[in-house]
Amino acid sequence: MTPGPRKIVSFRRLALVLMPTEACNFRCAYCFESNAGGRMSRETAAGLQRWLTNRFPELEDLTLNWYGGEPLLAVNIVEQLQRHVLTLLDRYPDVDFHGAMTTNGYLLRPELLRKLVSLRVTTYQISLDGPGEHHDRTRALAGGQGTFNRIWRNLLGARDLDERFFILLRVHVHRNNLEVVPDLLETLAGSFAGDDRFSLMLRPVSRLGGRGNECHEALTAEEALEPVDQLRTLARDLGLHLFEGGQSSGRCYTALPHMWLVRADGTLGKCPVALSHPANSLGRLRGDGRVEVDAERLQPWLRGVFSGDPADLSCPAMGLAR
């Protein structure tokens, strides 16, 4: 008899993708999010603290990955929870903790980066869509203004800090920037090659739903294969460190039983991409720290754990979130 999800969801590991706000100051051309959600409620923030307090005595490993929207629009919530985790780590120092953030980088000034690193948010992912005006065409502010120059100043300011952190520069490749991405790589190499705190990831833009499905710049997988490989070769030749994680493992982190998405309103899910799909609403985090999960709705997301099927492990949302 195949065991149900209730038998496997209690682990000594916990990985949370947290959305302190679902609003964003950017309007990226290929974004799949609606940006309709607001800031995390006090009830949800309190529930997170109580959940972690209850779980910490049995944990061996904890990861918090701040996501959005743009998480730095609700930086006070980030700071509040990180301070709470540091207090818990004082009591349970054997817990292996890692804090990360996916941010557009616009608000990540050096002084804020230093503060967040002191609170143990040490890993960041920041996207660039080419040099200057090319980036600004697809990653503009909600009001239409460009964003590259501000992000670039923040990156150079980060480089000049002494703190230890890891910034993954995610460079998007699409139909209209293919010819200028080499220029961006040369600029990146001139500023960050040799600094092991900075790595590069090259990714073709994908249509992932929402208004992003109207993005005409996206390449097909076949169209992207050769040019992206050529750009990776160039990046290596320029001395940039390429981050290969997630490219060859064949397993999406949403397939992990101990991984949860916590939305700003306390809704629990698995996939931070399929936000609007009903199958991705699996329960709720209550203000008292109780976690209510619909085991029947959860089971399809965990089918790869039981089947070992590479397709089920590579994208548990396939077939659920179309």
Give the per-residue SS3 of the chain. CCCCHHHCCCCCEEEEEECCECCCCECCCCCCCCCCCCECCHHHHHHHHHHHHHHHHHCCEEEEEECCCCHHHHHHHHHHHHHHHHHHHHHCCCCEEEEEEECCCCCCCHHHHHHHHHCCEEEEEEEECCCHHHHHHHCCECCCCCCHHHHHHHHHHHHCCCCCCEEEEEEEECCCCCCCHHHHHHHHHHHHCCCCCEEEEEEECCCCCHHHHHCCCCCCHHHHHHHHHHHHHHHHHCCCCECCCCCCCCCCHHHCCCEEEECCCCEEECCCCCCCCHHHCCEEECCCCCEEECHHHHHHHHHHHHHCCHHHHHCCCCCCCC
Q: What is the tens place of the pLDDT at every residue in 164-206?
A: 999 999 999 998 999 999 999 999 999 999 999 999 999 998 7
Is pLDDT above 80 for 4?
no
What are the CA-CA distances from residue 186 to residues 37, 69, 131 (Å)?
A: 38, 30, 10
Location of each CATH 3.20.20.70 domain in the chain: 103-243
State percent of the chain over pLDDT 70. 91
Q: What is the pLDDT of residue 133?
A: 94
Whether the pLDDT of residue 245 is over 80: the answer is: no
Which tens digit of pLDDT belongs to each residue from 50-70? 999 999 999 999 999 999 999
Residue scoring higher pLDDT (126 or 218): 126
Q: Exposed, middle or buried by CB within 10 Å (0-12, 13-18, 19+), for 174?
A: buried
CB atoms within 10 A of CB 143: 7
The answer to whether 282 touches 270, Cβ cutoff 8 Å, is yes
Check pLDDT > 50 for residue 8.
no
Average pLDDT over residues 88-112: 98
Distance between CA 275 and CA 283 in Å, rounded?
A: 14
For 143-167, what is each residue's pLDDT tens digit? 999 999 999 999 999 999 999 999 9
Quick one: fold of 103-243?
Answer: TIM Barrel (3.20.20)
pTM, to two decimals = 0.91
| Averaged pLDDT for residues 61-90 | 98
In this predicted structure, the answer to whether residue 212 has a pLDDT above a threshold of 50 is no
pLDDT in tens, 277-308: 899 999 999 999 999 999 999 988 888 777 77
Q: How far apart are alpha carbons 68 and 38 in whole angstroms?
A: 10
